[in-house]
Amino acid sequence: MKRVAGLLLFLSACKVGPDYVPPQVEAPQSFSQSAGADLAEADARWWKSFSDPVLDELVEAALTRNRDLLAAAQRVREARAVIDIEGDKNYPTVDGRAGYVRRKPSTAVAGGQFLPPDPASVHTVGFDARWEIDLFGHNARAIEAVEAGYGSALEDARGVLQRLVAEVARNYVELRGVERELVVLRESLAAQEDAAELVGTRVDAGIATELDAARIAGMLATTRSQVPALERTRAARVHALAVLLGEFPAECNTRISFDGKLPVAPVGVPIGSPVDLLRRRPDVRRTERELARAAAMTAGATAELYPRLSIGALFGWESQYIDDMFSNPSRSFSVGPSMTGPIFRRRIIEAGIEVRTSQQEQALLAHEQAFVGAMRDVEDALVAVGRTAQRVVALEEALRAERRAHELATELYEAGLSDYLTVLDVQRSVLAAESELARGRTDRVVASVALYKALGGGWEIEAEVPALTQVGIAPASN
C-alpha cells in the first residue's frame, strides 16, 4: 500500500508542457539623456525631496482613503482567494449525503400485473469522496496560472499606488503654481491701480491726457479679467486633489494654506539604469506576470492531451426502515479508480494549444512593449527636466530686463520725455514675464514629478499602506 501511495505521489508531481522561463529583455546600458545624471536609484519616498510638509500630508491622506487604491487592494484579495480555490483541487473532496425516497414501482412492466409490487421506502446516509491524481499537471498548471494572476493583481495595486502618489504631487504643484500666478496678478493689479491714480492726478493737473487715463483703465480691466480664470483653475486643482484623497472639496480645502511659495524641484534626480525599470516599474512587472500566466495556460492546454485519473469512494448506510439505518447489514461502500482521456478531441485540443501559444506570444510582445514605453517615458521626462530648467533661467533673465525697461520708461514719462503708452506697453510685458516665469517654475517642478513617476518610484512603501497590508500583500519580488 505504501508503494502504491508513493507511486501516486510521484506521478502527481509530473507536469507536461513547457515550463515558464522569465524573458531576457534587451536593455541599453544607459539613457540617451542621462549625461551628468545621478545613476543611483531614487528614494522610495521621493516626494519628500520637494521639502513641502503639506505635500507630505496630502500623500499620506491619499494612501489611506483613495478609492482606486482600496479597490485595487480588494482585487489582490480576490486573486489570493482564487489561489486557495485552485489549490484545494489537489486534495480529496469529501461530501456528506442523506436522502429519503418513497417509491412505488410501475405495474406495467412484465409480471407487474400479476404480482403488483408494494411501495417501499429507502433511507440513505453516507459520505462521498473523490480525489483526482494530477498525473500530468492539469491542476498544477492551473495553480501556476492563478498564482501569476495574483502577481498581476499585486503589480496592478502597486501601479495604482505609484500613480496615486505622482498624481497627488502633480496636482498639488500645479495648484501652487496657479496660486503663485494669482499672487503675481494681484501684485500687478495693485501697481496698476497706483499708476491709474497717478495718471488721474496728472490728468487733473493738465500734465497727462484723457487718452492716458483711458489706456490705463483698459489695462486694469484686462488684468482683472484674468483673475476669475485663474481662480477657476485653482478650484479645479483642489477638486482633483479631493478626489485623489477620497474627500469632499471643502474638506480638502482646509488642508491647503498657501504661503506664496512653490515646492522646490530637487537638483540631480537619481535615475538608475534602464534595466532597473524591469523591476521598478509596476506596469512592466505586471506584463511579466501576465506572460507567466499565459505560459502556464499554454502548458495546461498541453496537459489536456493526456488522461485524468481519479479515485472515488462511497461509504454509508441504506435501509428501508429508519430503525435499522445504522445496523451492520445496512452498511454499504464502494471504492475504485477511474480514468478518462481524449479520443476524438485531439484536433480541438491542439487548436486550443495553438490559441494559448499565440496568447503567450502576445503577452511577450506586450511585456517588451511595456519596457520600451517605460524607456520613452524616462527619456521624455529627462528632456523635460533639462529644458524646463533652461527655460526658467531664460525667463528669469527676461523678467529682469523687463523690470529694468519699466523703470526706464517710468523715469522718461515722469520727466515728460515719453508718453504713457510706452509705460503701459512695458507694464504689460512685465506682467506677462512674471506670469510666464511662474508657469515656467511650475513646469520645472512638474517635470521632476513626471521623472520620478517614469522611473517607477513610490510603490516600495506598500508595507506601510493600510489598504494593502490588510489584504495580506506578499513581499516584493526582485
Q: What is the Rg, in whole angstroms, of the alpha carbon atoms belonging to the chain?
A: 37
What DSSP string runs through 209-240?
Answer: -HHHHHHHHHHHHHHHHHHHHHHHHHHHHHHH
Instruction: Judge whether residue 112 has pLDDT over 70.
Output: no
Give the per-residue pLDDT at 7. Answer: 53
- In this predicted structure, what is the pLDDT of residue 409? 87
Mean pLDDT of 378-396: 93
pLDDT per position as a tens digit, 61-110: 999 999 999 999 999 999 999 998 888 888 888 888 888 787 776 666 55
The residue type at 195: A
Instruction: Determine what percent of the chain is predicted with pLDDT higher than 70.
Output: 90
The three-state (H, E, C) secondary structure of 266-307, written as one string: CCCCCCCCHHHHHHHCHHHHHHHHHHHHHHHHHHHHHHCCCC
Q: How far apart are CA 457 and CA 46, in angstroms?
A: 7
Average pLDDT of the segment spanning 388-413: 91
| Rounded-to-integer distance, Cα 270 and Cα 440, Å | 22
Instruction: Answer whether 95's CB lies under 8 Å from 313's CB.
Output: no
pLDDT in the model for residue 114: 55
Of the two residues 470 and 434, the one the predictor is more confident about is 434
Confidence of residue 391 (pLDDT cuts 50, 70, 90): very high
What distance in Å separates the CA atoms of residue 446 and residue 140, rounded to the nearest whole number? 47
3-class SS string, 311-358: EEEEEEEEECCHHHCCCHHHEEEEEEEEEECCCCCHHHHHHHHHHHHH
Q: Mean pLDDT score of the chain, rounded to an integer?
A: 84
**Contacts of residue 452, Cβ cutoff 8 Å, sequence gap at least 6:** 42, 46, 47, 166, 169, 269, 458
CA distances from 107 to 103, 110, 121, 347 (A): 12, 8, 17, 49
pLDDT of residue 161: 94
Encode 285-296: b = buried (16+ Cβ within 10 Å), e = exposed. Answer: bbbbbbbbbbbb
183-192, 282-291, 415-424: least confident range? 415-424
368 pLDDT higher than 60:
yes
User: How far lies 359's CA from each of 135, 282, 302, 356, in Å?
Assistant: 25, 21, 14, 5
Nearest to 33 by CA among 276, 280, 371, 269: 269
Residue found by looking up cell 491714480 in the block: 197
Best CA proximity match to 182, nearest among 248, 263, 262: 262
Q: Out of 44-53, 115-124, 201-210, which region has the weakest mean confidence (pLDDT)?
A: 115-124
| Stated length of the chain | 478
Confidence of residue 207 (pLDDT cuts 50, 70, 90): confident
b/e sequence 62-79, b meaning 16+ C-beta within 10 Å: bbeebebbbebbebbbeb
Quick: pLDDT tens for 1-50. 455 555 555 555 578 888 899 999 888 888 887 655 565 666 788 999 88
Q: What is the pLDDT of residues 27-40, one digit of tens each?
A: 888 888 765 556 56
Q: Could you report the per-residue pLDDT of 251-265, keeping only the tens digit for each?
A: 887 778 776 678 888
Distance, CA of 271 to CA of 278 (rounded, Å) = 13
More reliable by pLDDT, 265 or 403: 403
Residue 473's pLDDT is what? Answer: 66
Residue type at 119 in one-letter notation: P
Note the pLDDT of residue 474. Answer: 52
For residue 93, count other CB atoms closer than 10 A to its CB: 11
Query: Distance between alpha carbon 429 and the CA centroid of its chain, in Å?
Result: 44
Question: Residue 95 has what pLDDT?
Answer: 86
Question: How many Cβ atoms sit within 10 Å of the Cβ of residue 307?
Answer: 11
- pLDDT of 317 > 70? The answer is yes
Give the count of alpha carbons within 13 A of 475, CB side only.
Answer: 2
Q: Are strands 308-319 and 93-103 parallel, antiparallel or unpaired?
A: unpaired
Q: What is the pLDDT of residue 1?
A: 46
pLDDT at 422: 80
Domains with residue ranges and CATH for the chain: 14-92+139-306+351-469 (1.20.1600.10)
* pLDDT confidence bin for 116, thresholds 50/70/90: low
Q: Is the distance from CB of 453 to CB of 404 less than 8 angstroms?
A: no
Question: What DSSP designation does 95 have?
Answer: E
Reported as a pLDDT band with limits 50, 70 and 90, residue 478 is very low
pLDDT above 90 for 399: yes
Q: Look at residue 212 and tell me whether its pLDDT is greater than 60.
A: yes
Kindly give, in sequence order, each residue whose CB lies less than 8 Å from that of residue 347, ignoring residues fewer than 6 positions away. Answer: none
Mean per-residue pLDDT for 226-231? 91
- pLDDT value, residue 476: 41
Max avg pLDDT among 184-198, 267-281, 372-386: 372-386
